Structure 1
Amino acid sequence: PSMVDRYHPPATACTLTRWGRRSHRGGGLLHRALSFSSSRCHVVSPGEVSAKPAEAGSAPGLYRDTVLLPRSEFPMRLTGQKLLDRELQIQQECGFADLYSWQRERKAKKEFCLHDGPPYANGDPHVGHALNKILKDIRNRFEMLRGRQVHYIPGWDCHGLPIELKALGELGTSGLSPMQIRQKARQFAEGAIARQKAAFQRWGLMADWDQCYYTYDGAYEAAQLKVFQEMHGKGFIYQDYKPVFWSPSSRTALAEAELEYNPEHVSRAIYATFPLSTLPPEMASEAGLESGVSVLVWTTQPWTIPANQAVCYMPNAQYSVVKRADNSQLLLVATERTASVAALLATELESIGTFTGSQLEGGICKHPTIPDKEVPLLPANHVTMAKGTGLVHTAPAHGMEDYSVASQFKLPVECMVDEDGKFTDLAGPELQHLCVMTEGTDKVISMLAECGALLKEEQCVHSYPYDWRTKQPVVIRPSKQWFINTASLKDKEALQKVRVLPESARGSLLTMLDRRTYWCISRQRSWGVPIPVFYHRETGEALINKHTVSHLAELFKEKGSDCWWELPIETLLPDQVKAGPVTDYVRGEDVLDIWFDSGASWAAVLEGTADAYVEGKDQIGGWFQSSLLTSVAVRNKAPYKSLVVHGFAVSEKGEKMSKSLGNVVDPDVVINGGKDPSVPAYGADVLRWWVAESNVFSEVQIGPTALNSARDSIGKLRNTLKFLLGNLQGFDPRVQAVDPKEMHYIDQYMLHQLREYSIKVTDAYSEFDAGRAIRVLQAFITRDLSSFYFSIIKDRLYCDPEDSLGRRSCQTVLEEILDGVTRSIAPILPHLAEEVYLHAPGHDGETLFKSGWIKSSSVWRRPGLEEAVEGACAIRDSFLSSIPGKNAAQYDLTIAIEPGLLFELMESLQEEATSTSSQLAELMTVARVNLASGLPRDLPPDAPLSHGTFLINLEGGVIREDSAYSIAAVPTSAARCPRCRRYTADSADCLCPRCQTIVSQAH
């Protein structure tokens, strides 16, 4: 590895203090601090001994039984049915189903509460579920491993129109009672829940699946009613008649969160004139305007013209009366819109007079299609100059801003549109029964044309709200509904205290909160929690108070909300309510918006505040917001300490998945394979790796490329784990482990690296960044293990005596590495981690998840040793780059360093002036290392030479020395040993001294 990768200045002061400078032979402080009395180390050329043993009969074959090659029953690959069977077997053997309950019962100092946002119970599990649930499970398993008591109760959102519509199918609601509708909807929801729950368990999610929450449970509904009562008691919930988003296709009011905006909606926009019957006083004094001025308005919703009650202007803008060159008509438009209007009408417009908006006060217009109706000119702040004429047609019944103007100026709010989106008799006989969005629009436009008020019609493509369930456009119409006054609940401070990941999502949360002035929470449906209100038969007055709601909450808790329809009103209305005879009242027929259902989950499921809510970005305007508003209303604080907002799963082309495009990825097919043999069974761990590896804060692509990549990554990981397990065969860490102080320095160094790795991977999981955890893991395996440590230690592992200190030292480290890596992948790959743990030495049937997180020790942090090994690595890099393409094992290496710190560090790795078996020789992977203060004078002229420097930085910079070194490589004169294949033998048919001793002892 390059020194850029391998060198990190020590973060803590080195324990080797006040190092004395000394000659290159002697017993200085550094040397004594780092040295130990034990056997020599040996090297191997990278990859040599890992090759297959030579055939019997050849010279190396004679010694194959004396070489300790890796052995393990851990399979290198698991595919197809074997993989699926093994995962299910692991879940069974390792008690996946009982793990959540086990950790809830153990003692723990801290709790980690991740509150599960309820998935909708209206269909099969999909990859969006997988992304969300696995992301949560990774964090839960990590927190559980590190000793926290995890609080995680899965839930389902069970009410609402989509379930009702799917349950009824083509039957519709005609002829069915509310209870029949509810029964069918409940059955449909229960089926969807069962399918989703089975999938979540197969993915390895840790939870008590017998103790979930459902929004149709009586206890949940009772808790929800208590939230409703608290909010009603504080004045946040009220009944009113005002404009709401109304879906004619669903025949119900909708909240903002239930809309989706179609950016390609086409409207028939019109420019229409409203003749001024009374000029504003400021305008009347101008000469030349007596012949009549018309106010020009623009609207994309011509059907609302019959409901017009005013025309609004911007008080501080400039307005001009202009004369058309083609017909001398006088029009009032905003001055800055004059050029656009002239282009639109294809004529020149001459300015006759200019006024400020405030000078228009007192003007009165004739309604273009309703004889004798007059409407005022009024100031309004919502008027913009981006489009149109700067004068806005105002229909209070059909616009939110229009309604605000009506409230301020006491204008009538007449609704001319019924629940089916058709004109009522109030609109007049010509319009009655026409659908406002289609033939009603046609008729209004033709009426305007007939009376000469239509100046221009054009097609306008713009963003328009649709019902997210039926995919049909909505209208704005007034209706008597129940509302939450969200304006008084926008506690920005509550949200400022919340940690948001990614931070960029905070702006979207605040923007959506700002946009929501009130929240309509009543729905005209049967499948939901009834709004606990009674109405007087005669007056229509609502009866609702703490006594009625508390009584109903108790009934719901005991019997469920079906009792609202099943029990007589005498049972539903409590005795203590003295409001006249019970028979004077009828129960309300509306149900609560399901966003209120799920938004109250904190009250039904949590004991306090959740550590985290983790959902997709669509919940910024949904569950995140409804939970915040209800919690702030009742408790004056947010229900969560942190919000994690992830993206959506999309196809590999980045497209939204849809059945019509045929690009839907089914998680069941991902795990179990498809009917087509070309669609392999990947298993649950591949699905989990895909989630973990993705940048979940953006759109997450899934398809064969991503899944094959995940499978290959796990395959490489299995390879590494098999190497570790193979070399730990017969090793018992409880009795054969070597104390770190007695280990070879490279082994101590690897413990140091393992500690650094464990800190980084722990930090990544703590930040909900499993992708970083994977990158840290892969860098550790590729750089620190495969490219570096494994290539150096194979000779010691395979060819040293089985019970030698050098080999046991190495095995001790391999066992720690295996343990650390296995625990670090466990949150992401629980099946693989438990499988490895079953094969690993020294566990006696214990499961990994009951045994804790990575166990690294502060003793492993040894900065001085880090400098020694990394200094040697710098020298090794220089040497290897000087012999490109050649085998390092065939060289004798001379390292020349002036007396000083670097020499002392290298001397700690090789006490002798020359050695074939020192730790320095092992690190360099050469035949022999000569350590000297200068290069020899008799070097061959063609000997590769290289030079470099290494910065020693110890005790936080107190000790700094930039040390120079020179290297000379000379081909060795020694022969290759037929057993260990190192160039350390006297002749080709002779064993090297180390192997000679081992073989003679074996025989």
Structure 2
Amino acid sequence: MTDTPSKTGATDAGRDYKDTLFLPTTEFPMRAGLPKREPEWLERWNSLDLYKRMRADSAGRERWVLHDGPPYANGHIHIGTGQNKILKDIVVRSHQMLGFDAPYRPGWDCHGLPIEWKVEQNFRAKGRNKDDIPVKEFRAECRRYASEWVGVQSSEFQRLGVNGEWDDPYTTMAFEAESAIVREFLAFVEQGLVYCGSAPVMWSPVEKTALAEAEVEYQDKVSSTIFVRFPVRGVRKDGSAIPKTCIGAHVVIWTTTPWTIPGNRAICFSPDISYGLYKVTGVDGGEFKPWAMPGDTLIVADALWEETAKAAMIGNWERVDTIDPAGFVCSHPLSELDRFWSYPVPLLPGEHVTDEAGTGFVHTAPSHGAEDYVAWMAFPEWHDKDAPVPHMVDENGAYYPHVPVFAGLNIIRLDGKKQGQDGPANKTVMDELIVQGKLLARGRLEHSYPHSWRSKAPVIFRNTPQWFVAIDRPMKSGGTLREKALKGISETTFTPKVSENRIRSMVEQRPDWLISRQRAWGVPLTMFVEKGTTRVLNDPKVNERIIDAVAADGADAWFERPAAEFLGSDYDADAYEKITDILDVWFDSGCTHAFALEPRADQKWPADLYLEGSDQHRGWFQSSLLESAGTRGRAPYDAVLTHGFVMAGDGRKMSKSLGNTLAPNEIAKKYGIEIMRLWVSAQDFTDDLRISEEILQTSVDAYRKMRNTLRYLLGALHSYDATVEHLPHDRMPSLERFMLHRLHELDGVVREGYESYDFKKVYSALFNFCVVDLSAFYLDIRKDSLYCDRPDDDRRKACRSVMHEIFMRLTAWLAPIMPFTMEEAWLTRFPSEDDSVHLRTFPKTPGDWQDGALAENWRTIRRLRRVVNGALEVERREKRIGSSLEAAPQVFVTDAAYRAALAAETGGDVDEFVAEIGITSQAYLVDGEAPDGAFRLDDVADIAVVPGRAKGAKCARSWKYSTEIGADPRYPELSPRDADAVAWWDKANA
């Protein structure tokens, strides 16, 4: 109600009616005090053992499981981690309240490079090098470090209000988990999919290990670029002579990795590109003498010649001939430096070659690039049979001793202040190319380049023996791993839908799965190979002994027990080598379904949902898919939900150096986590989100409005007794029946929103209901009835009955989003030592509350009310009235639909009904055009209002004006309605 009676209720002449008003009363404070109160609610839930209570209460319901993607146990949580966990909590809580048994078992990824790298740094700080530390000691420290951070992160996640099985999480370093990972790995071995191959892999020289794509991030890097001349040999591959115009010519390549030139074995071209032979006739070097000279003949793609000429400072030229490079053979540009490079360099067709940049020719070093490797391996006739792909660079990123001139030179610096910057390799290679007369031009280019996501140092491609899982090799169970994974994608529901295309394209294009790492911490590749070969021993009995040993003593057993113990009496331990490489950490986490879900009676396999950030299409989503497809023939999930990343308020990536980070613990201390949870739910989280103090303030304001709505409901429902006051639906006034219809509508919106993970839809619907439908409409109209009607009046009873239904639903519907506040509201009204709002399910909403015709009438009536409110606002602003109760507007309508809607819903006096919804003392509905000057709204053409003052005297209790003041001689200052209510009050309090 816009205007309410004074809480004193006093008049100059008579009685103080304050005590006769039925004003709201509640202990639910206006100020939430969330930073202080939230930890108290967490303590209460722990003392109740709420999670186990929920499991017991939901026993027998249909199981619904979200499988927690394990974060790394290696640092405090950040805003993105917090967003992820809050989303998961909303998903699980909402499904629990939708009527499922929805357990949530958190987990941690405890192996792999992130943890090992931190432990290495800690040892280095103590003056100890990793290579000097016994493996057993190093692994024990990794386990201790991970365990410590599991505890820290567990507390931080619980502070977010996340409800789960915190006393029994899963970790990948638990012995049962390590044993399960070993079993899953050996299942791939038994399928014949694990093989040793020598191929270029992304390698971190700083960390001395191979990296998977998921362990790499792309950052801007400034690289040296070079144009290099490869001399054309006199005959083609088939022995035929080259065109005379090409005698003495050079094929020109361009690269951003000069250090790879010593590993060059071929040049790739495209049959679809037009190439020309260009003769240099003039140069424009100025003070700098160009490396190009008049008379040089260069073969370059026609589309890229002018860019090449500009880079080489070639001022004049002539195009001599059109060249088909198929079958051409060149000499290596370093061939005169050392006979090591005396081999022929063939020109090979390559699908990856374009004329968008460079020269239209691609320098091909199969040791140093995936595309280079594929192109080279397609032409075995050029290979050295003993070493088809040469080994050029060691684990430190330095040239092997057998590489002439460059032996020992590092590609990137491994330590010191310049760690990660270019080492001496690039410059030395360029210097030698200059000496040999083969460098045509050089420059600098800023481009996106792969870096290790842990050390932040650039990575290189390095040819090294590694273990792989074959993606396209036929499996014993039929089909290939790629085929089964793609089928699994087709059988999975992805949200948003576009993410399906993303993971599908990745699986379609991915190479074999690189699973070996040259590290110490993690689950080893528990297999034996025949010494001197890469033939894997595949014996089920041996495998079972390995699995049993790891189950008993963890993965350390592989390192600590002798080979003979695993091999048994059937094999000679001296004839076999134990592989000690560590499994890719993504293989570990890809197995979590096999030990966190499948064997547990309180879980479910496959999971109903996996929920992680969009980067996990190449990470956990994909590794879980491949692992499960390989061992079970399908994905371990039925649905995948993806969220975006959290950016700063200005859209930039969060960075400590920029000072734009915002941590969950900071939000908890300043605002309370409930505010962060509101922010999460109010966004389209499938896209990147922005956060800042200003953005959070929006959530603070929204929280305050919803809290005040709840506070009012609690106050107005004080002492409500449904057994006495509940009014049946068919006896309720039209306004109450309309509010029940709105609850029926909201019930569908809320359930569908939670089921489809559209939390923004749920939040928006409930926020608007609180602010627009309740505060600004229903409660505004009904304040007069709540305060002034006698308690046994049907209108007041109907209002309180509806408010009860609203409260019961709002506290349940909002509980997944605002668990702390809904608990507080619930227990304020229903105090209990052992109850919780989170033990409830969403209330069922009766079907007969739905009434489309009534809702349509109220849409018409609310449009009319909006115009009336607009007119009264002008009157108040101009100080022609002090409150709306002083008004008696004339409402002119030119559309009969308004009177019909009002008549259908009043059951009585239309004018009185208009006054009631407009919160005026009187009102008059007039059919026809309004006089000039009447108030109108631009978007409502068929309603106009002429303000007027109310007739009669002012009631001392309700402040309404009436011509019947004093009709009851006992109460000469009151209207008949208020006099009747006071008489009731006097009798009840006699």
TM-score, normalised with respect to structure 1: 0.86
SS at the partner of 1:341?
A: helix
Shift in Å at residue 439 of structure 1?
1.5
- Which sits farther off after the overlay, 402-411 or 505-514? 505-514
**Alignment pair present for 1:604 and 2:595:** yes
Shift in Å at residue 95 of structure 1?
4.5
Whichever residue aligns with residue 29 of structure 2, its letter is P
Whichever residue aligns with residue 802 of structure 2, its letter is V
Q: 296, 300, 304: which one pairs with 2:256?
A: 300
Q: Which has the higher contact order (CA 8 A, sep 6+)?
A: 1
Asked if structure 2 preserves the Cα contact closer than 8 Å seen for 1:871 and 1:950, the reply is: no
Aligned 1:372-411 pairs, distance under 5 A? 372-410=342-380, 411=383
Aligned 1:962-973 pairs, distance under 5 A? 970-973=948-951
Asked if structure 1 preserves the Cα contact closer than 8 Å seen for 2:234 and 2:242, the reply is: no
Distance (Å, rounded) in 2 between the aligned partners of 1:160 and 1:269 = 37
| 2:406 aligned partner | 431
Distance (Å, rounded) in 1 between the aligned partners of 2:307 and 2:373 = 29
**Alignment pair present for 1:72 and 2:26:** yes
Shift in Å at residue 322 of structure 1?
2.3
Asked if structure 2 preserves the Cα contact closer than 8 Å seen for 1:312 and 1:377, the reply is: yes
SS at the partner of 1:221?
A: helix
Whichever residue aligns with residue 396 of structure 2, its letter is D
Q: 438, 444, 453: which one pairs with 1:468?
A: 453
Distance (Å, rounded) in 1 between the aligned partners of 2:46 and 2:864 = 51
Distance (Å, rounded) in 1 between the aligned partners of 2:895 and 2:224 = 86
Distance (Å, rounded) in 1 between the aligned partners of 2:352 and 2:871 = 75
Q: 886, 891, 910: which one pairs with 1:890?
A: 886
Distance (Å, rounded) in 1 between the aligned partners of 2:81 and 2:129 = 29
Distance (Å, rounded) in 2 between the aligned partners of 1:434 and 1:648 = 40
Residues 709 and 473 of structure 1: is their aligned pair in 2 closer, same or farther, counting only changes over 3 Å?
A: same
Distance (Å, rounded) in 2 between the aligned partners of 1:854 and 1:732 = 18
Distance (Å, rounded) in 1 between the aligned partners of 2:829 and 2:148 = 41
- Which sits farther off after the overlay, 719-728 or 254-263? 254-263
Shift in Å at residue 118 of structure 1?
0.2
Q: Deviations over 1:233-289 (max 9, x none)?
A: 333321111211111111111111111222233234342333424356798364444
| 1:422 aligned partner | 398
Aligned length, in residue pairs: 923
| 1:457 aligned partner | 442
- Which sits farther off after the overlay, 695-704 or 360-369? 360-369
- Which sits farther off after the overlay, 730-739 or 78-87? 78-87
**Alignment pair present for 1:828 and 2:817:** yes
Distance (Å, rounded) in 1 between the aligned partners of 2:454 and 2:938 = 69
**Alignment pair present for 1:345 and 2:312:** yes
Aligned 1:437-586 pairs, distance under 5 A? 437=412, 438-487=423-472, 488-491=480-483, 492-539=486-533, 541-575=535-569, 578=570, 580-586=571-577
Whichever residue aligns with residue 335 of structure 1, its letter is D
Whichever residue aligns with residue 408 of structure 1, its letter is A
**Alignment pair present for 1:233 and 2:194:** no
- Which sits farther off after the overlay, 410-419 or 966-975? 966-975
Distance (Å, rounded) in 2 between the aligned partners of 1:339 and 1:915 = 85
SS at the partner of 1:352?
A: strand
Q: Deviations over 1:460-487 (max 9, x none)?
A: 3222222221111222121111012235
Distance (Å, rounded) in 1 between the aligned partners of 2:592 and 2:611 = 14
**Alignment pair present for 1:107 and 2:60:** yes
**Alignment pair present for 1:818 and 2:775:** no
Residues 145 and 658 of structure 1: is their aligned pair in 2 closer, same or farther, counting only changes over 3 Å?
A: same
Shift in Å at residue 457 of structure 1?
2.0
Whichever residue aligns with residue 524 of structure 2, its letter is P
Q: 958, 964, 974: which one pairs with 1:991?
A: 974
Residues 249 and 287 of structure 1: is their aligned pair in 2 closer, same or farther, counting only changes over 3 Å?
A: closer
| 1:163 aligned partner | 115
Distance (Å, rounded) in 1 between the aligned partners of 2:645 and 2:67 = 20
Asked if structure 2 preserves the Cα contact closer than 8 Å seen for 1:115 and 1:152, the reply is: yes
Distance (Å, rounded) in 2 between the aligned partners of 1:362 and 1:531 = 43
Q: Deviations over 1:162-215 (max 9, x none)?
A: 211212312331321111110000000000000011112222212111221111
Asked if structure 2 preserves the Cα contact closer than 8 Å seen for 1:602 and 1:639, the reply is: yes
SS at the partner of 2:407?
A: coil
Asked if structure 2 preserves the Cα contact closer than 8 Å seen for 1:397 and 1:477, the reply is: yes
**Alignment pair present for 1:47 and 2:17:** no
SS at the partner of 1:444?
A: helix
Asked if structure 2 preserves the Cα contact closer than 8 Å seen for 1:935 and 1:968, the reply is: no
Asked if structure 1 preserves the Cα contact closer than 8 Å seen for 2:812 and 2:840, the reply is: no
| 1:27 aligned partner | none
Aligned 1:916-931 pairs, distance under 5 A? 916=912, 919-928=913-922
Q: 161, 179, 184: which one pairs with 2:141?
A: 184
Shift in Å at residue 57 of structure 1?
6.7
Residues 474 and 930 of structure 1: is their aligned pair in 2 closer, same or farther, counting only changes over 3 Å?
A: closer
Distance (Å, rounded) in 1 between the aligned partners of 2:626 and 2:463 = 24
Whichever residue aligns with residue 489 of structure 1, its letter is L
Asked if structure 2 preserves the Cα contact closer than 8 Å seen for 1:871 and 1:902, the reply is: yes
| 1:614 aligned partner | 611
Distance (Å, rounded) in 2 between the aligned partners of 1:713 and 1:220 = 44
Q: 661, 667, 686: which one pairs with 1:664?
A: 661
| 1:317 aligned partner | 273
SS at the partner of 2:196?
A: strand
Distance (Å, rounded) in 2 between the aligned partners of 1:187 and 1:733 = 57
Whichever residue aligns with residue 815 of structure 2, its letter is A
Shift in Å at residue 325 of structure 1?
1.2
SS at the partner of 1:686?
A: helix
| 2:782 aligned partner | 793
Whichever residue aligns with residue 543 of structure 2, its letter is V
Residues 274 and 303 of structure 1: is their aligned pair in 2 closer, same or farther, counting only changes over 3 Å?
A: farther
**Alignment pair present for 1:284 and 2:260:** no
Asked if structure 2 preserves the Cα contact closer than 8 Å seen for 1:133 and 1:200, the reply is: yes
Distance (Å, rounded) in 2 between the aligned partners of 1:287 and 1:51 = 108
SS at the partner of 1:654?
A: coil
Distance (Å, rounded) in 2 between the aligned partners of 1:843 and 1:512 = 53
Residues 698 and 930 of structure 1: is their aligned pair in 2 closer, same or farther, counting only changes over 3 Å?
A: closer
**Alignment pair present for 1:761 and 2:750:** yes
Asked if structure 1 preserves the Cα contact closer than 8 Å seen for 2:73 and 2:108, the reply is: yes
Asked if structure 2 preserves the Cα contact closer than 8 Å seen for 1:985 and 1:991, the reply is: no
Q: 323, 341, 359: which one pairs with 1:355?
A: 323
**Alignment pair present for 1:1002 and 2:985:** yes
**Alignment pair present for 1:253 and 2:210:** yes
| 1:39 aligned partner | none
| 2:476 aligned partner | none
Distance (Å, rounded) in 2 between the aligned partners of 1:892 and 1:558 = 86
Q: Deviations over 1:282-339 (max 9, x none)?
A: 983644444x222222222222222222223223433222222142122222333322
- Which sits farther off after the overlay, 699-708 or 713-722? 699-708
Distance (Å, rounded) in 1 between the aligned partners of 2:392 and 2:932 = 100
For structure 2, which runs of at least 5 residues remain unmatched after alignment?
283-293, 413-422, 473-479, 599-604, 876-882, 967-971
- Which sits farther off after the overlay, 887-896 or 922-931? 887-896
Asked if structure 1 preserves the Cα contact closer than 8 Å seen for 2:226 and 2:439, the reply is: no
Distance (Å, rounded) in 2 between the aligned partners of 1:805 and 1:532 = 77
Shift in Å at residue 888 of structure 1?
4.2
Shift in Å at residue 893 of structure 1?
5.7
| 2:903 aligned partner | 907
Residues 139 and 352 of structure 1: is their aligned pair in 2 closer, same or farther, counting only changes over 3 Å?
A: same
Residues 874 and 123 of structure 1: is their aligned pair in 2 closer, same or farther, counting only changes over 3 Å?
A: closer
Residues 369 and 321 of structure 1: is their aligned pair in 2 closer, same or farther, counting only changes over 3 Å?
A: farther
Structure 1 vs Structure 2 CA RMSD: 3.1
Distance (Å, rounded) in 2 between the aligned partners of 1:646 and 1:736 = 47
Shift in Å at residue 878 of structure 1?
4.1
| 2:681 aligned partner | 692
Distance (Å, rounded) in 2 between the aligned partners of 1:899 and 1:393 = 79
